[in-house]
């Protein structure tokens, strides 16, 4: 297993290590670790394309959390604006989960006024796990490769196409 997978396993371990005697420290570290698992998964996938192996760790350090979040937000919006095919929904979910986890990581690490519950922490560690699976199901698609490129070089991200009219949709 790679580093990202190890981090994900550690997040699951932290989530369950205290049994019923839940500790905020464990829940917070679980959330933070789940975020870094997904962060490193995407970076490893991106820099793994670079041909000169010894330069990959240097390249990996150039990724910025804020820029990556911005690209993920644009990717989620683009999915709906361009009415992309359902086959790309897993990629959209990866982007959405990245942003959610980044937000939650910042709260878990820095905002002690927020109380974490088991259900919420379990949800987001689980979503990280799902994001790993989703990523691996779409990673060979050209759109997924473009997504990695934009995470690495955000300025290359194209503006979304003009919005098409949304079809009427019933709420349930």
Partner 1 sequence: MFMPSAITKQPEINAAVVAAERLPGVRYIRYSVAPDWNGQSAIFFRVVLADEASTGERLRDITTQVIWRMSEWLNLPELELFPYFDFRSESEQATLNEPSWAKAS
Q: Does 73 bind partner 1 (CB under 8 A)?
A: yes
109: its two tokens: 């690490």
165: its two tokens: 């009219």
**Other C-beta atoms lying within 10 Å of the C-beta of residue 97:** 24
Question: Which of 54, 61, 159, 169 contacts partner 1 by CB under 8 A?
Answer: 169
CA 26 vs CA 36, 108, 131: distances in Å: 15, 10, 21
Q: For tokens 């420290």, name the residue.
A: 25
Select the span of 36-44, 45-53, 68-76, 148-156 touching partner 1 (CB under 8 A): 68-76
Q: Does 1 bind partner 1 (CB under 8 A)?
A: no
Q: Does 164 bind partner 1 (CB under 8 A)?
A: no
Q: Does 60 bind partner 1 (CB under 8 A)?
A: no
Q: Does 81 bind partner 1 (CB under 8 A)?
A: yes
**Other C-beta atoms lying within 10 Å of the C-beta of residue 94:** 28
Question: Which of 80, 112, 153, 156 contacts partner 1 by CB under 8 A?
Answer: 80
């Amino acid at each position: 297993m790679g580093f990202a997978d190890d981090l994900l396993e550690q997040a699951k371990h932290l989530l369950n290590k205290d049994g019923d005697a839940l500790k905020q420290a464990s829940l917070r570290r679980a959330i933070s670790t789940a975020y870094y698992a997904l962060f490193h998964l995407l970076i490893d996938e991106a820099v793994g394309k670079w041909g000169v192996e010894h330069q990959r760790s240097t390249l990996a350090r150039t990724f910025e959390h804020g820029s990556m979040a911005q690209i993920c937000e644009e990717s989620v919006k683009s999915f709906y604006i361009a009415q992309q095919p359902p086959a790309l929904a897993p990629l959209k979910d990866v982007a959405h989960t990245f942003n959610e986890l980044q937000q939650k990581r910042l709260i878990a690490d820095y905002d002690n006024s927020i109380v974490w519950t088991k259900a919420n922490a379990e949800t987001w560690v689980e979503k990280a796990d799902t994001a790993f699976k989703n990523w691996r199901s779409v990673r060979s698609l050209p759109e997924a490769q473009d997504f990695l490129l934009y995470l690495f070089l955000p300025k290359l991200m194209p503006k979304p196409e003009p919005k098409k009219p949304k079809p009427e949709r019933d709420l349930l």
